[in-house]
Amino acid sequence: MRICNLSSGSDGNLTYIESENARVLIDIGLSCRETERRLSLLKTTPDQIDAIFITHEHLDHMKGLEVFASKYKSKVFVHKNGYVPLVNKINRTVDIEVFDDNTFDYKDLTIFPISVPHDVKQCTGYSIISKQKKISIITDLGHTTSEILQNLRFSNLVFLEANHDVDMLVANPDYPEFLKQRILSLKGHLSNDSCAESIADLANYGTKNFVLSHLSTKNNTPQLAFEYISRKLREKNIKEGEDIKIKVASVVPQTIFRL
Ligand SMILES: [Zn+2]
Ligand SMILES: [Zn+2]
């Protein structure tokens, strides 16, 4: 598989996954034009995209959806509980297929939907397996549960939210109190702290590659997230650079992974 995060964070989320027989996107939170441009960096044309898997209806995950999917006739997948909130935000005719909590196959991909706690009716993370390789993408969740972690275990690569540093968020004078409470709540966003705890669990089950994702530009920095989480893991005897590798996703395209 070839995997590349093309944008991450509240300005737009877009991840590209390519297997032998399928080219898909997880979310399309950039405009159609910007998505086209970023796909060209991977030498992929928009009409080669077979399907788009949507996590939830927040704009940073579906901004380019209706223009892109109607223009290129791409198939759109969304959890049945997220269907109505999603279609309420689009006007054009788009080919949408719903799924439930069960695993399903799409071309040579096996898709494991993972429901996560976020302030919407349904937010779905994904584990995707092709040819024995498993990648997982989990962002926009207030907290992890043992069930979520169990689903993520044995992934070869995990994109996991490291949204904010709690101290930085609490001290941010530009954020109103209700917004801080929303982000910090069990249905908000994952902190660096919770991210580190989750990585420690997954590392103990063999995952070696992590990408810190959906970082806040106001309440976190790539350097802070990387250093804080690496330090927390060192305290648990997991060494970044030796036992595991951590990269940080941002608003610009990053590493291309090949599994
Ligand atoms: Zn988001
Ligand atoms: Zn969201």
**Cα-to-centroid distance, 66 and ligand 1 (Å):** 18
Whole-number Å distance between alpha carbons of 229 and 21: 36
Whole-number Å distance between alpha carbons of 157 and 106: 20
CA 229-54-207 angle, 5° bins: 35
pLDDT over threshold 90, residue 172: yes
Residue range 8-52, pLDDT digits in tens: 999 999 999 999 999 999 999 999 999 999 999 999 999 999 999
What torsion, rounded to 10 degrees, do the Cα atoms 72, 53, 11, 186 define? Answer: 160
The protein residues having their C-beta less than 5 angstroms from ligand 1 (an ion) are 60, 140
**Cα-to-centroid distance, 250 and ligand 2 (Å):** 16
Ligand showing the shortest atom-to-Cα distance for residue 63: 1
Domains contained in the chain, number: 1
Residue 132 sits in a domain of what CATH number? Answer: 3.60.15.10
Whole-number Å distance between alpha carbons of 181 and 40: 39
67: Cβ–Cβ under 8 A, 6 or more apart, which residues?
31, 32, 92
**pLDDT computed for residue 110 by the predictor:** 98
pTM, whole model, 2 decimals? 0.97
Which domain, by its residues, includes 188? 2-258
**pLDDT computed for residue 254 by the predictor:** 84
In the block, residue with structure tokens 């009716």: 121
**Cα-to-centroid distance, 138 and ligand 1 (Å):** 11
Residue range 102-160, pLDDT digits in tens: 999 999 999 999 999 999 999 999 999 999 999 999 999 999 999 999 999 999 999 99
Whole-number Å distance between alpha carbons of 257 and 259: 6
**Cα-to-centroid distance, 138 and ligand 2 (Å):** 11
Ligand showing the shortest atom-to-Cα distance for residue 121: 2
Q: For residue 241, how many other CB atoms are within 10 A of its CB?
A: 8
**Cα-to-centroid distance, 243 and ligand 2 (Å):** 31
**Cα-to-centroid distance, 77 and ligand 1 (Å):** 17
